[in-house]
Amino acid sequence: MKKSLIGWVAVAVLVGVGAGYAYVRGKPAGPADGVAPATATSAASGAGGPPVSVTTVTVQKRDVPVVLEATGTVSALNSVDIRPQVAAVINKVHLREGQFVSAGQLLFTLDARNDEVNVAKARAQLAKDQAALADAERQMARSRDLFAQNFISQSAVDTTQTLVDSQRAVVASSRAAIDAAQVGLSYSRIKAPSAGRAGAINVFAGSYVQPSATPLVTITQLDPIAVAFSLPQRNLGAALATLRSGGGKVLAVLPEGAGTIAGRLQFVDNVVEASSGSVRVKAEFANKEERLWPGAFVAVRLAVQTLKDASVIPQAAIIQSPRGKVVYVVDASARVAARPVEVVHASGEDAAVTGVRPGERVVLEGRQNLRPGSPVIDRPAGESAAGRARGASPAAPGPSPAP
């Protein structure tokens, strides 16, 4: 009896559990169950979806200059530190700070009294030696007359000739001594070795100066002037080819929108710096208006070649996909296709590419909602964000583009 009752109870429990499970499985999900109600969405991407509003641009055909960009330092072609060659006292300063001087212009005068005395002494010695030479020559003339009359021997004539030759050598030595004294005297007049602008003057009249001391002044050439910069090793061949062809056009971009100055490539260094993998180059610029100043930094653009009839698109239209760079091209049926492209040269906002043809339309804006085969509607390129929002279809964003 008890066993039969226990069995019926077990059966009843199993039936209740099964009914509850069936009820839960069959009940629709609602807020009480912690599940949000499902809503229907439409995909914006895909060939079967509604058209996607995009902005397109036309592939342009034009010549593109290949320009290498770098940061350069302005440097003088010629800068000379003026130093005295002898220790002396400054008698007079003949220039002003910041003055432009010409080659050979007198800059400083030193105390030259000692050198002037040495020149006078050397000249007096020359006069003495010349008098001795004249006497020896007269003796030589008398000796020849006596030898002709057989009053003296040939050896006596030879002795007199030796005296004349020796005295001539003494006169030549005295003349050289005068030249040496005049060289020393010339050190007292310091002249500009080249034209340029004078810097700060570090001495005054009465200053005692020495060759090893601070330079008296620095003369710096400003016109023409150079800009030195570095190029990566991969651009060495292009730089050398440009230099051999007469030097390509180089633009120095002045800071703060002050304009540009055109120059030419003049020098490519003979070694690649191992630490940086770059090579030093130099360009020369006319600088009559003094817009370039030694030590200043400027942006440099070197044109090394020109790509003829290149296909040009905005860089913003290029998508970096897992398979490489692609663009979306719009066909005649207003659908897009992913087209792989290769960037030949990029500068500023544009890029010269291969893989598209001039005249084709590529998508510039709205790419995030596209897939290959998606229908599109082209909107004006200058349309505002609010206008795009009003004119766009209520399509949900699609996945990332996959060519």
Residues 300 and 315 reside in one and the same domain: no
Listed in sequence order, the residues at least 6 apart from 186 whose beta carbon sits closer than 8 Å to its beta carbon are: none
pLDDT of residue 381: 57
Residue 101 sits in the same domain as residue 198: yes
pLDDT tens column, 298-337: 999 988 877 888 999 999 999 988 888 999 999 988 899 9
CA angle 186, 187, 188 (to 5 degrees): 90
The reply to whether 162 falls in a domain is yes
The Cα 280–Cα 275 span in angstroms is 13
Kindly state whether residue 1 falls inside one of the protein's structural domains: no
Phi/psi at 21 (5° precision):
-65, -40
Residue 143 within any structural domain of the chain: yes
Q: How far is CA 367 from CA 61, 113, 121, 346, 381, in A?
A: 23, 88, 95, 21, 14
Q: DSSP per residue over 21-89, as a string?
A: HHHHHHSPP-GGGT-PPP----BSSSTTSPPEEEEEEEPEEEEEEEEEEEEEEEEES-EEEE--SS-EE
pLDDT, residue 353, reads 93
Q: Strand 297-314 relative to strand 350-354: parallel, antiparallel, unpaired? A: antiparallel
Q: Cα dist. 210→82, 150, 182, 203, 395 in Å?
A: 12, 65, 20, 11, 85
CB count within 10 Å of CB 164 equals 19
pLDDT digits (tens, 9 = 90+) for 253-305: 988 888 899 999 999 999 999 999 999 999 999 999 999 999 999 999 988 87
Residues 216 and 92 placed together within one structural domain of the fold:
yes
Instruction: Tell me: do 317 and 293 sit in the same domain.
Output: no
Give CA–CA dist 305/61, Å, rounded. 17
Closest CA to 280 of 236, 334, 245: 236
Grade residue 400 by pLDDT with cuts at 50, 70 and 90.
very low
249 lies in the same domain as 282 = yes
Last residue of a domain, one of 279, 308, 337: 308
pLDDT tens for residues 113-156? 999 999 999 999 999 999 999 999 999 999 999 989 988 899 98
Residues 313 and 303 in one domain: no
Give the distance, in angstroms, between the CA of residue 72 and the centroid of all CA atoms in the same chain: 3
Same domain, 296 and 313: no
Residue 292 lies in a domain: yes
Single residue among 308, 333, 361 that ends a domain in this structure: 308
Burial 3-12 (b: 16+ CB within 10 A, else e): eeeeeeeeee
Q: How many CA atoms lie within 13 A of 110 on its CB side?
A: 24
**3-class DSSP state of 104:** coil
Instruction: Name the token pair of 41.
Output: 């969405």
Q: What is the residue whose two structure tokens read 């000739």?
A: 161
Asked if residue 286 and residue 193 are part of one domain, the reply reads no
User: Residue 164 belongs to what H/E stretch?
Assistant: helix 154-186
Residue pointed to by tokens 């066993």: 3
> Are residue 151 and residue 92 in the same domain, yes or no?
no
pLDDT of residue 384: 40
Q: Which H or E element spans position 332?
A: none
Q: Which domain holds residue 318?
A: 52-61+309-391
In a domain, 15, yes or no: no
The CATH number that applies at residue 339 is 2.40.420.20
pLDDT of residue 47: 54
Residue whose C-alpha is closest to residue 82's, from 60, 97, 72: 97
- Chain segment 18-44, per-residue pLDDT in tens: 545 444 444 444 433 333 333 333 344
Whether 401 maps to a domain, the answer reads no
Q: Which of 339, 313, 336, 314 is nearest to 325 (CA)?
A: 339
pLDDT at 390 over 70: no
CA–CA dist 249, 265 (Å, integer): 7
Asked if residue 27 is part of any domain, the answer here is no
Flag whether 31 is in a domain.
Answer: no
Residues belonging to the chain? 403
Q: Do 242 and 199 share a structural domain? A: no
CATH number (domain holding residue 121): 1.10.287
Do residue 155 and residue 169 come from a single domain? yes
Are both 251 and 359 inside the same structural domain?
Answer: no
pLDDT, mean of residues 351-371: 89
* Domains: count for the chain: 4
Mean pLDDT in the chain?
Answer: 83
Is the Cα torsion angle 282, 284, 289, 290 positive or negative in sign? positive
E strand or H helix at 391 = helix 385-391
* SS3 of residue 242 by DSSP: helix
CATH number at residue 246: 2.40.30.170
